[in-house]
Amino acid sequence: MLQKLAASLVALSAILTTGCHEPPPVPRNLVLVSLDTLRADHLGLYGYAKRTSPGLDRWAEHAFVFENAVSASNYTLAAHHALFQSKTATVARDARDTGLTLAEMLKAQGFRTVGFTGGGMMTKVSGFDRGFDYWNESHEMLADSLPGALEFLDDAARGKERFYLLVHCLDVHLPYDPPPPYDTMFDPDYHGTITGPQTRNLLGMRKMFEGRESYGRHQYDETDRDKVRALYDGEIARMDEVLASLLARIDERDLRDDTMVVVLGDHGEEFWDHGSVLHAHTVFQELLHVPLLLRVPALLKQSHRIAQRVSLVDVVPTLLELLALPAPPGLVGHSLVPLLHGEPEPTHPLFAEGYASYAKLQSVIDGDLKLIRNIETHAVSLFDLAADPGEKNDIAASRPADVERMQALLDSTLGIPKSVVQDPMGLPKDVDTKTKDQLRHLGYIE
């Protein structure tokens, strides 16, 4: 009888504790990993059939997995500015030198702030170094910046300062040129002419800047297209193996119990989903749907998947609340902490902006409906993401009331920018030779 009573009291205590959602211990540190150009649906934990991400899949077994996270933009510079400032993409990009960043917020609270990036768009000249005590641009792959990041973690484990570590990599960005064995890992029987080094010139991101609409369409049969996808998957697999070393070092240095870790993508990549390739030209889901994983010490012992649609602009408000820090005024994102506790959280419209051949695009997701608007041509498209996740069936003509309502959402939040065609991508000007060489390698410039 006494044993049954004791067991009942323990069970009652667990129920009451769960219902009250006692806050977990506040994490001391933050590690944020940004995986540039990574499609969510090419990862195993997001349902991909190919074994591209075994390391990240295992790590996610003890993390929150946001199944339907979207970026605020379809290209690196604006997506990251929006992420770090919790602003809409155009506002954040235009405020790249003045908008308060996550690093500045944490530095003001006594955090040691350190950033390692792959360069490209994530550079000092683009304003991303603001708020960092130390900023390193490797202009190479993750493996090249990894030793510095690991050394920092070793040093931080011995110190007493709270820290924020940012790690950004361009490993899966064009050109898709993984080394052996990753170059043939996902298409060992291919005997065509497509090779990794060729992808930069054959797919040619620079063609977008020239206003061409036919890039990536005519050179390939389906076997060649599969090869391009396989090379991209090979890049993911190689990156996954390197990333595992970074994530493991957090545990090895006894930092797991007081370090919060975020792993995310800034935008996706198109592989003829809507007739073309690469990114920065449409705002369909293959470019906006990104991985978002969050591991919070003492809050989660096993993977928990969150289906509600969220935005990357929600990341900063969420991290600040989990770190028990005040949020500055003007953030457009919403804290996702209630979702971590399994509590109902009102849905909010999710906004994104991008460029297509210099024509400004805007999109809003409200519930399962998504509206895309071209503010130069005034063309609109409406999709039901629940019934039509591939966005193949435009239902705008049959839903005029929804079109009007969602256009009003765009008008009230994004408005019409003053300039549409000037500096559409926000590429850095007057950059150093090393950065210019990398931008050329990535296909941004001739």
The pLDDT assigned to 94 comes to 77
pLDDT of residue 6: 40
- 377, burial (CB in 10 Å: exposed 0-12, middle 13-18, buried 19+): exposed
The pLDDT value given to residue 434 = 63
Residue 9 is predicted with a pLDDT of 35
Question: Facing residues of 134 across strands?
Answer: 114
Do the domain assignments include residue 69?
Answer: yes
**Predicted structure pTM score:** 0.88
Distance CA 283, CA 375 (A): 13
* pLDDT number for residue 99: 79
Q: Does 78 map to a domain? A: yes
Per-residue pLDDT at 416: 76
Is 392 inside a domain boundary? no
* 180-238 pLDDT tens trace: 999 999 999 999 888 888 887 766 544 444 444 444 444 578 898 899 999 999 999 99
Q: Is residue 391 part of a domain?
A: no
Q: What is the pLDDT along the chain (446 residues), one digit of tens a residue?
A: 434 434 433 333 333 344 445 666 899 999 999 999 999 999 999 999 999 999 999 999 999 999 999 999 998 989 999 999 999 988 887 776 677 999 999 999 999 999 999 877 788 888 899 999 999 988 778 888 899 999 999 999 998 899 999 999 989 988 899 999 999 999 999 998 888 888 877 665 444 444 444 444 445 788 988 999 999 999 999 999 999 999 999 999 889 999 999 999 999 999 989 888 888 789 999 999 999 999 999 887 767 999 999 999 999 999 999 999 999 999 999 999 999 998 878 889 999 998 755 558 999 999 999 999 998 888 999 999 999 999 999 999 999 999 999 999 999 999 876 554 444 455 555 666 665 555 555 555 45
What's the confidence (pLDDT) of residue 54?
98
List, in sequence order, every beta strand (DSSP E) within 77-119.
112-117
Q: Give the per-residue pLDDT at 204.
A: 58
Q: Is 200 inside any structural domain? A: yes
DSSP labels, 350-384: EEEEEEETTEEEEEEEETTEEEEEETTT--EEEEE
In-domain check, residue 16: no
Residue 270 in domain: yes
Half-sphere exposure (CA, 13 Å, Cβ side) for 285?
Answer: 23
Structural domain harbouring 81:
26-343
Structure confidence at residue 141 (pLDDT): 80
pLDDT, position 380: 97
C-alpha closest to that of 382 among 366, 391, 371, 398: 371
CATH number of domain containing 247: 3.40.720.10
Instruction: Please indicate, yes or no, if residue 228 is contained in any of the structural domains.
Output: yes
Quote the number of domains for the chain. 1
Confidence at residue 10, expressed as pLDDT on a 0 to 100 scale: 37
DSSP string, 3-70: HHHHHHHHHHHHHHHHHHTPPPPPPSEEEEEEETT--GGGSGGGT-SS-S-HHHHHHGGGSEEEEEEE
